[in-house]
Amino acid sequence: METIHTIAELDAKIAECDRAGETSEDAMRALLGGFRMEMPRNLPRDPFDPAYREAQLRLYEQITGHPYAPSHEVTKFDVDSALRRPFPLYTNSSFVAGEYFMAIGFVLQSMALPPGSRVLEFGAGWGWTSLLLAQLGHTVTVIDIEPCFCELIERRAQKEGVEIEVINSDFFAIEGMDRQFDAVLFYDCFHHCDDHLRLLKSLHEVVTPEGRVYFGAEPIESGFPVPWGIRLDGWALWGVRKNGWMELGFRDDYFTRALARTGWSGRRLGVAGQNRQRIWEARRRNHAGFRFAAGAPEIKTQIGHLAEGVLVLDGLKAGTAVYGPYIELSPGKYVARIGFKAGVQRHGTAKLDVCCNAGRKRLAERRVRDEEPAELAFTLHDDASDLEVRLFTERGYTAQIDFVEIVPAAA
């Protein structure tokens, strides 16, 4: 990875990438992945301090030569051409298209919306996710700052025979909005908001009490070098310097804290090794319960086996019957519970515990017998990562497990 240090070097790299793009999208992307600039080392220590955001805006101005304004996110293009071959089809790249559509499929699968949900999508861009949601029978509203994207989505919706409400505005159009949605989606666009804390707070106005906010394919990573800030990889630098876009990245522990500070509790979902197949789901903190079916990929076992979606413990071995789901959780009082299949008796003794930080910190534990509910109260004083519920059974313990859940404790 080459590190560049000056704007002149950056302009030379961008020109080289643009020339490669005349050959193929894949050639351009290969070059964009080969360079970066160094992160500034004099940032304020508190990422929630207004001075920290001001430092990021100064860095943006150093890269672009002008102050940031949301209007810089506007990017004109030929709508007629995009209607015939929208991104990623016009790239002529099987890799780019395959990665993109797999990521969208993962978002739809992770959202798992009930039929007829009301959905608000920000930055809908080329319109793929909004069109698919509408074709799935949901009531869809989109907000996008680019008039060309708004026109494209309207024309694509008309072509496909579905209705999508299109609003040409910035993120903060929701402030004062007089209606709410069951789900709000940011797909690869939240990182364009320079005042993301304000946006997270504003979302409470448009999300129903039981609603969800989804952040798909966003640059929220454990290895991001600072809590949050302008990304300085080649791809992001190309977007900032050439187009004037805001290109932020977030470290996942900071993002968890940002959600908590603005009244949300989040969990991370993803496919190992797939950079774009990741999504964060956020709920209001006072409705931040999580339930996972026994057959969900987040729930693991060493001694049980699945049968028709139920985790069967046959008592032949002692060991770890349940562990997972490895979620992020904000401070508060909670109850962890293992639910058993109705009408099926349990026999034997087991130990239930809750821990975090990949099992290194135990928060609570107790023994449970067959006649007792398998639940455990615990308190988090700080943000927790990789939180899991574990059930350790003795030989002879039999049960059929239906779900694992973590819910706020009753007041």
Is the model's pTM score more than 0.75? yes
Asked if residue 386 has pLDDT above 90, the reply is no
Contact indicator for 346, 374 with CB cutoff of 8 Å: no
Q: State the pLDDT confidence band at 51, using cuts at 50, 70 and 90.
A: very high
Mean pLDDT, to the nearest integer, of 159-164?
97
**What pLDDT, in 10s, does the model give residues 202-244?**
999 999 998 999 999 999 998 899 999 999 999 999 999 999 9
Is the CA virtual torsion 37, 38, 42, 43 positive or negative? positive
Question: Which residue ranges make up each domain of the chain?
Answer: 39-287, 290-408
Q: What is the CA radius of gyration of the chain?
A: 24
Q: What does the H/E/C string look like for the chain?
A: CEEECCHHHHHHHHHHHHHHHCCCHHHHHHHHCCEEECCCCCCCCCCCCHHHHHHHHHHHHHHHCCCCCHHHHCCCCCHHHHHHCCCCHHHCCHHHHHHHHHHHHHHHHHHCCCCCCEEEEECCCCCHHHHHHHHCCCEEEEEECCHHHHHHHHHHHHHHCCCEEEEECCHHHHCCCCCCEEEEEEECCHHHCCCHHHHHHHHHHCEEEEEEEEEECCCEECCCCCCEEECCEHHHHHHHHHHCCCCEEEEHHHHHHHHHHCCEEEEEEECCCCCCCEEEEEEEHHHCCEEEECCCCCCECCCCEEECCEEEEECCCCEEEEECEEEEECCEEEEEEEEECCCCCCECEEEEEEEECCCCEEEEEEEEECCCCEEEEEEECCCEEEEEEEEEECCCCEEEEEEEEEEECCC
pLDDT for residue 296:
87
**214 φ/ψ angles, rounded to the nearest 5 degrees:** -120, 135
Q: Report the relative pairing of strands 2-4 and 207-216 from DSSP bridges.
A: unpaired
Asked if residue 138 has pLDDT above 60, the reply is yes
Asked if residue 411 has pLDDT above 60, the reply is no
Instruction: Kindly provide the b/e burial profile for residues 367-402, where b requires at least 16 CB atoms within 10 angstroms of the residue's own CB.
Output: ebeeeeebbbebebeebbbbbbbbbbbeeebbbbbb
Q: Average pLDDT of the chain? A: 93
CA distances from residue 332 to 214, 353, 357, 408 in whole angstroms, order as listed: 22, 17, 17, 7
Q: State the pLDDT confidence band at 30, using cuts at 50, 70 and 90.
A: very high
At the topology level of CATH, where does 290-408 sit?
Jelly Rolls (2.60.120)
**What pLDDT, in 10s, does the model give residues 71-95?**
999 989 999 999 999 999 999 999 9
Q: Output the six-digit token pair for 310.
A: 């139920």
CATH tag, 39-287: 3.40.50.150
